[in-house]
Structure formats: structure tokens, C-alpha cells
């Protein structure tokens, strides 16, 4: 099994090459690299370091036993994976965040918290003939426009690619063919991925780069729509509309009649015809202009 919490790298790498740091002291970083015919190098290895943690301990007095917080130093170990060219890094445990100082100090790239656009990834999964789903967890809220707050999970016979919740998925367990074999694993919106039947670190890193990276975005908070999401919605809308007929159509939202009117899929799932002005407003603001 291979698993990782994924982060996006911001900045351009200084050299694009990573070397081991094995001095007999912490942090200790063992670097392996696999170079492919297309020139891409995927790095992976193990690392050990020290992390400082706050720990609550009893503090007795003559009248009572109180608590106090002290700093303790723990020795931790992690597996790691990285692609400097495509800009991502993964660690097998959050304890491995001590590695981030090494990436900043050696290559000048900054690991940033990331999310996986899981609903979009699952939509692509549905279009695969070789895919099956054995687990889905989801969480939907009224704040996101749903009828009510609800959360749950589906397993095995109760779930399939065609009946997954359309929105709000937090994790998907899947199996599909890849690279001459198959991958059985888990993908979570939080940025966690696992491939249960993959044993080689370089193969896992290649799978992440090919299958997950296109859906990995920096976590900038709920209020900021990523450029990747906007691009994806535009591409999806272009696939829905018929091109080349030169037909003048009226916008469903304003009186404008133009050849620029296109079918647009809203977040609610409704399909409306919008002119270029209304469509661009929707892409940028997430709502149709009043």
C-alpha cells in the first residue's frame, strides 16, 4: 500500500534536482529518483526528523492537581513523494511536514495545503467502462444550496458509479484499470489519496501525477473559486452547446440576442442559455447577474 497527503508547490525550483541529506543527524532525508523516457523525474524516499508538540501534563499544588502545557520533542518518520516539474509533494503522515523547510531551503518552493476537486474527479470516473465504486462518503449543507444538512456513507452493493451523490462527496473508494493492471484505492477531497494494491513508490507517484494532479488545487478557502474550477466549467459548457450554426439566440437572463448565447450548466444542475456577458459574470461570481 502507498498513501499520501498531497500539497501543491508554489514557486519555481532552483535546480529541479533533489539530493539525499544523510549526515547522521536530524533531519535525515533519503532521496530516490525515477526518470522516465519523457524526461520527467519523480522523487520519493523516506525521511526522519524532530517535531515539537505541545503536551498537557499534571501540575500538582497543595490544593489541587492542575494542568500545564509543556513542549516535547518527538522523533518521527515519513514516506514522501514529489514532482518538482509539475509542482506537488505528498507525505504519508502530517508528521512529515518538517520536510517542508527542506523544500523551501534547497529548491525555493513552498508546499501549500491542497484540496482535490472530488466531484469533478468522480464525474470522470463515471465515464470509465472499467471503473467500479465500493464506498462513498458525502456531506451536504444548506449553506451550499442544498435542501437540508445531511451526511452519510454508502458501501458495496449500495453504491455504484451511476448513483453516487452529485455533489458534496468527501471520499470515494474505487477500482479501475490503469497502466496495464488495476488500482484499488481511496481519494478524499481533503487531499488524501491511497492505492491499496500498489507497492512501488515510483508507480504510486506516477499514478498521482496522471490521475489526481489535474484535480489538485491550492486550498484558498471556501470563498475563492479556483481558476481550475472556472476553466473546467467553461470547457464543460462548451461541450454542451452546438457550435457553427451561427444561430442568433436570446439570452434567458437578459434581452440580448446574439450568436454568443450558449447553453450553460449551473451549479444547481439547471441548463440555461446565457450571453457572453451573463456567462462571464456567472463564472466569476458563481451566480447569474440580477
pLDDT > 90 fraction of the chain, expressed in percent and rounded: 59
Q: Exposure of 74 by Cβ count < 10 A (0-12 exposed, 13-18 middle, 19+ buried)? A: exposed
pLDDT above 90: residue 17? yes
pLDDT in tens, 19-62: 999 999 999 999 999 998 888 899 999 999 999 889 999 999 99
pLDDT above 80: residue 66? yes
Higher pLDDT, residue 154 or 189: 189
Q: How far apart are CA 149 and CA 111, in angstroms?
A: 33
Q: Give the residue carrying C-alpha cell 442544498.
A: 146
**Spatial contact of 142 and 164, defined as CB atoms under 8 Å apart:** no
Torsional sign, CA 237, 223, 84, 107 = positive
Q: Give the residue carrying C-alpha cell 532525508.
A: 29
Domain ranges of the chain: 2-115, 229-285
Provide the 10 A C-beta neighbour count for residue 174.
Answer: 20
pLDDT above 60: residue 243? no
Instruction: Give the per-residue SS3 of 122-185.
Output: HHHHHCCCCCEEEEEEEEECHHHCCCCCEEEEEEHHHCCHHHCCCCCEEEEEEEEEECCEEEEE
pLDDT, residue 241, reads: 47
Provide the 10 A C-beta neighbour count for residue 122.
Answer: 23
pTM, rounded to two decimals: 0.73
pLDDT in tens, 126-185: 899 999 999 998 886 656 555 556 677 777 666 666 667 667 889 999 999 999 999 999
pLDDT in tens, 206-228: 999 999 999 999 998 754 444 44
pLDDT, residue 86, reads: 96
pLDDT in tens, 86-101: 999 999 999 999 999 9
**Reported confidence tier of residue 118, pLDDT bands at 50, 70, 90:** very high
pLDDT in tens, 195-209: 999 999 999 999 999
3-state class (DSSP) for residue 16: coil
pLDDT, residue 220, reads: 83
Residue 176's nearest CA partner among 195, 156, 153 is 195
pLDDT in tens, 246-265: 566 788 888 777 766 777 76
Q: Which residues, 6+ apart, have CB-to-CB distance to 38 below 8 Å?
A: none
Amino acid at each position: 500500500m502507498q498513501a499520501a497527503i498531497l500539497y501543491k508547490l508554489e514557486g519555481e525550483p532552483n535546480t529541479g534536482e533533489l539530493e539525499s541529506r544523510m549526515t547522521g543527524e536530524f533531519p535525515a532525508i533519503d532521496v530516490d529518483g525515477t526518470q522516465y523516457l519523457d524526461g520527467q523525474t519523480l522523487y520519493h524516499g523516506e525521511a526522519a526528523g524532530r517535531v515539537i508538540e505541545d503536551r498537557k501534563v499534571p501540575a500538582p499544588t497543595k490544593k489541587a492537581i492542575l494542568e500545564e502545557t509543556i513542549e516535547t520533542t518527538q522523533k518521527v518518520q515519513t514516506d514522501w513523494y514529489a514532482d518538482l516539474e509539475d509542482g506537488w509533494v505528498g507525505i504519508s503522515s502530517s508528521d512529515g511536514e518538517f520536510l517542508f523547510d527542506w523544500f523551501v531551503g534547497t529548491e525555493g518552493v513552498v508546499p501549500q495545503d491542497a484540496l482535490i476537486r472530488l466531484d469533478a474527479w468522480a464525474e470522470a470516473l463515471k465515464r470509465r467502462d472499467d471503473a467500479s465504486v465500493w464506498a462513498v462518503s458525502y456531506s451536504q449543507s444548506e449553506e451550499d444550496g442544498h435542501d437540508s444538512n445531511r451526511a452519510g456513507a454508502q458501501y458495496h452493493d449500495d453504491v455504484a458509479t451511476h448513483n453516487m451523490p452529485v455533489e458534496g462527496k468527501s471520499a470515494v473508494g474505487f477500482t479501475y484499470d490503469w497502466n496495464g493492471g488495476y488500482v484499488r484505492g481511496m481519494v478524499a477531497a481533503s487531499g488524501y489519496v491511497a492505492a491499496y494494491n500498489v507497492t512501488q513508490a515510483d508507480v504510486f507517484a506516477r499514478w498521482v501525477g496522471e490521475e489526481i494532479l489535474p484535480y489538485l488545487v491550492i486550498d484558498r478557502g471556501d470563498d475563492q473559486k479556483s481558476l481550475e474550477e472556472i476553466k473546467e466549467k467553461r470547457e464543460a459548457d462548451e461541450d454542451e452547446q452546438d457550435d457553427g450554426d451561427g444561430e442568433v439566440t436570446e439570452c434567458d437572463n437578459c434581452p440580448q440576442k446574439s450568436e454568443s448565447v450558449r447553453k450553460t450548466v449551473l451549479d444547481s444542475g439547471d441548463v440555461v442559455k446565457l450571453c457572453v456577458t451573463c456567462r462571464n459574470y456567472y463564472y466569476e461570481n458563481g451566480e447569474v447577474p440580477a
